[in-house]
A = this chain, B = another copy of it.
Amino acid sequence: MSKNIKVNAAILIIGNEILSGRTQDTNTSTLANWLNSIGVKVAEVRVVPDEEKIIVDTVNLLRKNYDYVLTTGGIGPTHDDITAKSVAMAFGKKYEIHKEAFKILESYYKPGEFNEGRQKMVWMPEDAELILNPTSGAPGFSVDNVFCLPGVPSILKSMLGGLKNKIVGGEPILSLTISLKTVESEIANSLTKVQDQNKDVEIGSYPFFHAGKLGVSIVIRSENQSKIDECNSQILKFVNEKKIEVVDR
């Protein structure tokens, strides 16, 4: 794949516990940061409940619209873990015991401990490719462009290394942050002009209130460093003219 192609992805968070507010999702930012670092832009995130039809329909929509789909959650041993079955249905594939996953878990657990509950975790879509799990044994899997990871953040993080050669990004997305001791309304018009003159660069403005400091972070994002540099100098020009202080953030 050519390195200058823009590559995108969707993240699909599966789990009632996120929708109820009981659990604070952190996997989105983990995955988004990692995807960005390998040149994949996250175009959309959805959070859906543990309901088969919704998961099937959403997987089928997202996998057609984006280069990659990463799902989190629903691959454990309990009744509410229905991601593997739903992904099999989405692809019209059999849902069956994955022989390699079976061997991995059979040797991971002590003799007699690989019980029926645990064996549910080796049921996957036919011909799924495994994503190895260095933390707790049970692998994730991928089918075509859909990559299924667990919901527990520490386990998910430990599995990203196993995706490195499977998800191929484009040009890395570079970013530069300029933090200012000001409020957004003071810079809004000047920043709009910079954005208008650099339409293919993503410029975001984010107020912050942090450790007693109040200010605005301007984030410039592009695959092209020279475009970032150009925006940076245009921004610093009006910042100097307005005698606004640049601060660390």
Contact = CB atoms under 8 A, between A and B. Distances in A.
A22 B78 contact: no
A96 to B, nearest CB: 19
Contacts of A241: none
Number of copies: 2
A18 interface: yes
Contact of A21 (B30, B118, B204): B30
Interface stretch (A40-48, A157-165, A230-238): A40-48
A145 interface: no
A25 interface: yes
B47 A28 contact: yes
Interface residues of A, number: 66
Interface stretch (A83-91, A123-131, A185-193): A185-193
B50 A204 contact: yes
Interface of A: 13, 15-26, 28-36, 41-50, 76-80, 115-118, 120-121, 152, 154, 173, 175, 184-189, 191-192, 195-196, 202-207, 209, 219, 221
Contacts of A188: 77-79, 116-117, 120
Nearest to A208: B152
A21 B17 contact: no
Contacts of A205: 76, 78-80
6 contacts: A16-B202, A21-B29, A28-B47, A44-B48, A78-B184, A78-B192
Q: Which of A20, A30, A186, A205 gathers the greatest number of chain B CB atoms within 10 Å?
A: A20
Given A79-B192, A204-B80, A219 B22 contact: yes
A19 B188 CA distance: 22
Given A47-B44, A76-B207, A24 B29 contact: yes
Contact of A42 (B20, B31, B120): B20
Contacts of A203: 79-80
A43 B32 contact: no
Given A21-B33, A207-B76, A45 B44 contact: no
